[in-house]
Structure 1
């Protein structure tokens, strides 16, 4: 008998989980949450929402095209398209022989390992390994102005 009860509880948990997952995908697709719809009725004391910033005249693709079109002739040649790859390859090919060996490829990783291995044991403990994490740039903060205390 207990198996039936366990089956019923598992089915209920799966059903609730499915409904919650379905609602979260609907929110992600449409960008509307219940909190946003519930607070849609503005109070008289609320300040109006700031206007959204105007879009720039160039789209991201136009800007990317402009960065790649070095001679500004309106077309990207094969050399222009591969210029960044050539630069990156040249940085790695330290002996300038046109071939990239594993040692040339792994120089930065070996230097990073050497700096992290503080006790020079040839292996990294958890504290040393933590120093090798990639430093990510902080996301831009909200450009919204906070409400001021002007007594209103």
Structure 2
């Protein structure tokens, strides 16, 4: 019996709360301001204009001509700190895999490639500090072959 009485009281309480909420919402909607009046938009044929004679933007950066060796150096120097670390040198050597196949099985293992590249890096690193300066890097340039004057 107590459960039935308690259930009835809770039901009436919930209905009362719902009615109060519904009435409060209706009152808020009545006192709400009217919707704003539509704003006239300018004609689409008229473009806005401004006086920009006194305005100045930032100066553009100056372009400098790089030598062939500097361009080659910056292809390896990814973080532009003017030094090439071992990781920077190894990361760009993927196109040389075919040349590095020592056992001739048409499969290049990472060890074959890494040993050759690490040896090349160690040969160029004259002061043995683990980084290549621009002068040290210049010694790793591929040797140019003389091209024949004609294709006879």
TM-score (norm 1): 0.29
User: Higher RCO, 1 or 2 (CA under 8 Å, sep at least 6)?
Assistant: 2
TM-score (norm 2): 0.29
Structure number having the greater helix percentage? 1
Q: Which has the larger radius of gyration?
A: 2
